[in-house]
Structure 1
Amino acid sequence: MAVEPLLATRAQRAFILTISIQAIVVLAMVGITFGKVRGEVDFSQARYRVRIRILAFPTGVKLLRRLKNQTLSCYLALFALAEIFELFMAFDALRLRNIIQLVGILAFHLALMVFAALQVHQTRIALVMSEVCINALDTSTCGGNGSLWQRIEPFLVVAPCIIAAAWLFMLFWIKRLYAEFGWAIFHVVGANPKMKTMYQYYQIMICLLKFDFFCFTGVTMQLLIVVLTRDTAEFGVTVAAIPVVLVLLVLCGIAVQREIKTIMSISLVLMLAAESYLYKLVRFYQPSSRDEYETTRATLTVFTIVAFLLLLATFVVGIRCFSDFDRGLLNSKIRSVSTRPKYSKASTSEMSEPKQGYQGVPIGPRMSIE
């Protein structure tokens, strides 16, 4: 049984189409919201009174204006990144015939729905501040009838609803794809159950590394856009960490594929050390710094915890993959699953008829069992 080329089946095309339409609609909703806020709120004027017990004047006014301006910018940037990342992961999973990665996309889509729901609450915190409402005409900071918040709220609510509906369609098509790709691992590693298990852990490891990249990028983006100021040491350290982490993830992927023990060992040690980044959660809620994270505390908390759990899972699976090195799986890892011989009637007839002059069991050309 041959596997169809990429996007050659109805299930593959429908799966990609579902993600694409969902991404367009959601980004349109977020873009409209951002445009309405940018068009009405004058961030250049320090006209908001801030609670003195929380923020000291004039630092409080400056911080408040910056947070209101940048929260929606960060929201739009994160959604754009998430949608592009999900679409890339979908194409990659179909190209590799990777069921595990498709299941990971389902989990990622659920997380995206939670993030969209959280943003409704966080946008209200950033935009609606009853304590600074000067009069009924101040529609940029009040949440009553005719206010800016009331006009943009429907667009924010639509986003998680669209994502939830798309998830149901994706679940249906992934069931079809599971049947379509069911023989992929058999094609790569054969019928040996131990080899199949080792290859599945390898697939899980590669998939986790991809999601680690997104979580790290999401946390870093929120810190750089909304929270950190450029004249602080923390800003410089965060920027410097970006290439280091990206190189770490890429090298770890190469090491687990090529079974390079030295690089894999270094990667595992660095993963364990990176778990200390969880201390950031303390800063989100400390009295001395909690106000800096007011408009992004919910999503930063979720992103940080998910990143911690993903990195921990990557470390555990990485240990398992490391133990499988030099056990005969290297060729299967390097061989591309998406590169398959073409199926033709000629090859089928050749397979059934022995060649003249050949003594022994007839051998036909290799064919894909997928």
Structure 2
Amino acid sequence: MRKTSKTSSIDVSDIIDSYDDYGSAESQDRKAPIVDSASPPSRSVWRSFIPSSLSCRLYLLVALLEAFVDVAIEVELFLRVRSASNNSGQPDVDYGRLPIYIFLFGLAHGYQFILAVDAVRSRNMLQIVFLAIFNGVFIAYAVLQISEVQGALPAGTPGIISIPINVVLILPPIVISVAEVAYLLLSWKIHTEFGWQNYKLLGADRRIKKMFLHYQVFECLLKFDVYFWIAFSVQFIFLSLDHTSIEYPLTIAALPVSLLLLLEGHLGARFENKWLMTSSMVGTLAACVYFAYKLVRILMERTDTSFMYVWKSLVGFSSACIGLIILTFIMACIVFFNFGKGLKQHLSKTKRTLNSTPAGVNGNSAFRNPNRMSLE
């Protein structure tokens, strides 16, 4: 019969007890930050739109300043155009066109800022690239605006400020060019941040990342479709159509219907609803036929008084709408065939993570993501 050593039994039990105490204390220490992070301090709705990244904050600041300055300039131009139309001694000058163009230019800047906020919140690098291209188009539009306004407004037309009209018109191209340079410089830093965060949320699965890329391209096309469809409809309704024509109310009714189709495409792709996606795709084809009909009509009647002064702008916007619709339909087909392959689950997990995870290292929630999929 083996004799048990009292000393050894005490030592073993002490070791076991100390190990258990240490392990339980260590586990509690490890769990403590997680419990605290589950209930982050409440943030206001407005503060939730402010990114934690410095580069993203600078990007939104540039977009906000550009929109504010250019919209203020467009308001000044609008007031001068209205003053000139009230005291016009030139009956051959059509002052009705300029307020529409000024409105569309200001709307483009406001919409660009909204898309910039959306791109930062959704970490959509493709949308930031599209916005840089969109902003580059503003430069050409601002340059064309110089000749349009100078040819219609007298040099001494009064406004809110006493700056000469030539100086006022040269400011938008300068502001847009400076903003474009800032966008290009910030895009690389933002690309690095978004790439790392999306990698941790989506993992290293190339199939999921490829489907996510298709989804982001489709979403970008939908968002830019909205502006070009609105811009074309506003010009066609207020600059070309007669209020007594039957086409006038039909064109007005077609605008909200077309925007509803784009919303269906977004919801169908996000929730992988085949019925919504199918109806959106069919409606997109119908919209392509609609814009093609408008384009042919504009080209055939460009010498009429209704289209004589606006047909070039209408042709440009209608052609852009047709091109975007074709690309949107192609991407819609690709996204549709990706349904049921796992992207929906990843997008849902990403949304839950962004909504529930507090700010971590350096204020970046990506460092405290409990659903990391990069190395695990």
Q: Same fold (TM over 0.5)?
A: yes
Matches within 5 A, 1:222-261: 222-261=235-274
Rate the CA distance shift 1:338–1:278 in 2: closer, same or farther, 3 A.
farther
Aligned CA distance change for structure 1 residues 118 and 300 (closer, same or farther; 3 Å): farther
Alignment partner, residue 218 of structure 1: 231
Tell me the equivalent position of 1:325. 339
1:292 CA drift (Å): 1.9
2:81/2:99 contact within 8 Å kept: no
- Distance, in Å, in 1 between the alignment partners of 2:371 and 2:265 is 33
**Are 2:54 and 1:10 equivalent residues in the alignment?**
yes
Match of 2:211, SS state, is helix
CA contact (8 A) 1:202 1:256 kept: yes
* Counterpart among 325, 340, 357 of residue 311 in structure 1: 325
Cα shift at 1:365: 4.9
The answer for unaligned runs of 5 or more in structure 1 is: 51-63, 129-138, 140-145, 346-363
Q: Deviations over 1:143-175 (max 9, x none)?
A: xxx565995343223212321221111111111
Match of 2:130 in 1: 104
Residue 249 of structure 1: how far off its partner (Å)? 0.7
Look up the equivalent residue of 1:217 and give its one-letter code. I
Amino acid at match of 1:219: F
- 2:199 corresponds in structure 1 to 186
Whole-angstrom CA distance in 1 between matches of 2:304 and 2:141: 20
For 2:207 and 2:110, locate their aligned partners in 1 and report how far apart those are by CA, in whole Å: 36
2:63 pairs with 8, 19, 24, which one? 19
Q: Return the offset for 1:196.
A: 0.5
Counterpart of 2:142, as a letter, is A
Name which of structure 1's ranges 331-340 and 239-248 shifts more when overlaid on structure 2: 331-340
Q: Is 2:79 the counterpart of 1:35?
A: yes
| Structure 1 position 297, deviation (Å) | 2.9
Equivalent of 1:81 in 99, 107, 123: 107
- Residue ranges of structure 2 left out of the alignment (5+ in a row): 1-47, 362-368
Superposition RMSD in Å: 2.8
Partner amino acid, structure 1, of 2:73: M
The letter of the residue matching 1:112 is: F
Separation of aligned partners in 1, 2:166 and 2:300: 30
SS of corresponding position for 1:291: coil
User: Secondary structure at the residue paired with 2:305?
Assistant: helix
Equivalences for residues 278-357 of structure 1 within 5 A: 278-287=292-301, 290-335=304-349, 336=351, 338-339=354-355, 341-342=357-358
Q: Which residue of 1 aligns with 2:33?
A: none
Q: 1:31 to 1:330 in 2, by over 3 A?
A: same
Question: In the alignment, residue 113 of structure 1 is paired with which amino acid?
Answer: I
Larger radius of gyration, structure 1 or 2?
2
The count of aligned residue pairs is 313
- What do the CA deviations read for 1:260-299 (whole angstroms, capped 9, x no partner)? 1122122112212221212323333335654323443333
Q: Return the alpha-carbon distance in structure 1 between the equivalents of residues 187 and 302 of structure 2.
A: 47
Residue 146 (structure 2) aligns with: 120
Residue 177 of structure 1 corresponds to which residue in structure 2? 190
- By how many angstroms is 1:340 displaced? 5.3
What is the match of residue 45 of structure 2?
none
Paired residue type of 1:204: V
Q: 1:207 and 2:220 equivalent? A: yes
Separation (CA, whole Å) in 2 of partners of 1:315 and 1:228: 29
- How high is the sequence identity, in percent, across the aligned residues? 26
Partner of residue 27, structure 2? none
One-letter amino acid of the counterpart of residue 254, structure 2: A
In 2, the alpha carbon distance for the partners of 1:163 and 1:368 equals 40
Matched residues in 2 for 1:281 and 1:147: separation? 38
- The answer as to whether partners of 2:119 and 2:127 remain within 8 angstroms in 1 is yes
Q: Distance in 2 between matches of 1:227 and 1:124?
A: 23
Identify if the C-alpha distance between structure 1 residues 366 and 268 changes in structure 2 by more than 3 Å, giving closer, same or farther.
Answer: closer
